[in-house]
Amino acid sequence: MNSSILLQLIAVLVSIVVAAGNVCALIWGVWTYRRNANVQIQMLALETLQHHLDIVVAHPDLAIRDETPSVDARYAWFAAHALTTAQTLWLLVGSQPSWQLSIDAIVRQHRAYLRSGMFVCSDYTPDFVGYLRTRVAELKCAEPNDGEGRPS
């Protein structure tokens, strides 16, 4: 065999091996990026839930309510914060069954607020409000106000 043909064959084989290595490196990089992104989302969700639980511990009088429809301003703030936490978790990890239990627990704790007519649906995404309607059939929406108690 001619040495120049052998060198050309080796060059072609080396090019193929290098190209295959680059493809493998690209696949590895994409897989690693996706895995790390998912871990970061999980960590953000966990941090969000932990912050909510810190507030629950700091305000046990607001966290444990009966089903009475009376809602004062402190509890309305607390419930709105809890539902914002639930929405954040729902947006981040709501499709994962392991997180669905935590989201549903937050919503369940504030059914009285959702039924009271003080819940401002327009403060939340329409999809999340739709999700809430599947969990609390008697959900009543309040009109948004301009910050001074007047409807906008």
Mind listing the pLDDT tens digit for each residue in 17-42?
A: 999 999 999 999 999 888 998 999 99
Interval 126-137 mean pLDDT:
94
Residue 148: other Cβ atoms inside 10 A: 6
> Within a domain: residue 151?
no
Domain extent for 75: 3-135
> Within a domain: residue 146?
no
> Within a domain: residue 130?
yes
Quote the pLDDT of residue 147: 58
Number of domains in the chain: 1
Q: Which residues pair with 119 in a beta bridge?
A: 141
> Within a domain: residue 117?
yes
> Within a domain: residue 58?
yes
pLDDT over 90, % of the chain: 54
Q: Count Cα neighbours of 71 within 13 Å in the Cβ-side half-sphere.
A: 19
Any idea which residue has 């607390």 for tokens?
A: 78
149: pLDDT strictly greater than 60: no
The model carries a pTM of: 0.75
Question: If pLDDT is split at 50, 70 and 90, which confidence band does 144 have?
Answer: confident
> Within a domain: residue 52?
yes
52: pLDDT strictly greater than 60: yes
> Within a domain: residue 24?
yes
> Within a domain: residue 113?
yes
